[in-house]
């Protein structure tokens, strides 16, 4: 019986480590919140991410942090992948650029929803995109990924909107 429990624990650690290593290739900051993230903060590369993910997964601190709003977790957090924003922007670039230039519109509202901006903060988001339009869209050759990155920068610099910054 002890061998079965030991084997299950080893399998769980390797599964978590493998998932973290695979995710590290896609996103350099991908372990989320939890005790492991706090303990291994500042570490770079797969090793630090594997240790953080394993700590979070082994001790269940991520689940606790999400439900309690501790360990760097937010109760109102969202499951979000930054590449989703660029995927949305790509085919909607022309309409989004138009909307940002005037500070309102359906496509801009969709971007706000994708980012998770609460209704009460959307006016500030719309104004920020209009005010920073030339930074977000510096040229006609800007890519969807560039726009997404610039939006993130604008969000991070705004006192009201910085909580929506994508990691």
Task: Identify which has the larger pLDDT, 46 or 14.
Answer: 46
Q: Specify which of 8-12, 34-38, 102-106 reaches the highest per-range mean pLDDT.
A: 102-106
Q: Judge if 53 and 104 occupy the same domain.
A: no
pLDDT digits (tens, 9 = 90+) for 23-36: 444 444 466 677 77
User: What is the reported pLDDT for 38?
Assistant: 77
DSSP-assigned states of every residue in the chain: -HHHHHHHHHHHHHHHHHHHHHHHHH-SS-S-SSHHHHHTTT--HHHHHHHHHHHHHHHTHHHHHHHHT-TT--TT-----HHHHHHHHHHHHHHHHHHHHHT--HHHHHHHHHHT--HHHHHHHHHHHHHTHHHHS-STT--HHHHHHHHHHHHHHSTTTGGG---
pLDDT digits (tens, 9 = 90+) for 53-85: 777 777 766 666 666 667 666 555 554 456 778
Range(s) of the domain holding residue 144: 82-164
Residue 160 lies inside a defined structural domain of this protein: yes
The stretch 107-122 carries a mean pLDDT of 92
Q: Judge if 59 and 12 occupy the same domain.
A: yes
Task: Report the number of distinct structural domains present in the chain.
Answer: 2
Residue 136 lies inside a defined structural domain of this protein: yes
């Amino acid at each position: 019986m002890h061998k079965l429990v030991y084997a299950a624990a080893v399998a769980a650690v390797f599964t978590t480590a493998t998932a973290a290593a695979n995710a590290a290739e896609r996103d350099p900051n991908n372990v989320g919140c939890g005790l492991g993230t706090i303990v291994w903060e500042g570490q770079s590369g797969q090793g630090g991410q594997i240790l953080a993910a394993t700590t979070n997964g082994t001790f269940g601190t991520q689940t606790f942090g999400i439900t309690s709003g501790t360990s760097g977790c937010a109760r109102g957090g969202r499951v979000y992948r930054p590449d989703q924003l660029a995927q949305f922007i790509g085919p909607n670039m022309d309409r989004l650029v138009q909307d940002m230039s005037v500070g309102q519109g359906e496509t801009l509202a969709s971007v706000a929803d994708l980012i998770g901006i609460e209704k009460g903060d959307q006016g500030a988001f719309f104004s920020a995109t209009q005010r920073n339009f030339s930074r977000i869209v510096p040229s006609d050759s800007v890519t969807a990924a560039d726009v997404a990155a610039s939006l993130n920068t604008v969000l991070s610099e705004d006192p009201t909107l910085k909580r929506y910054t994508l990691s």
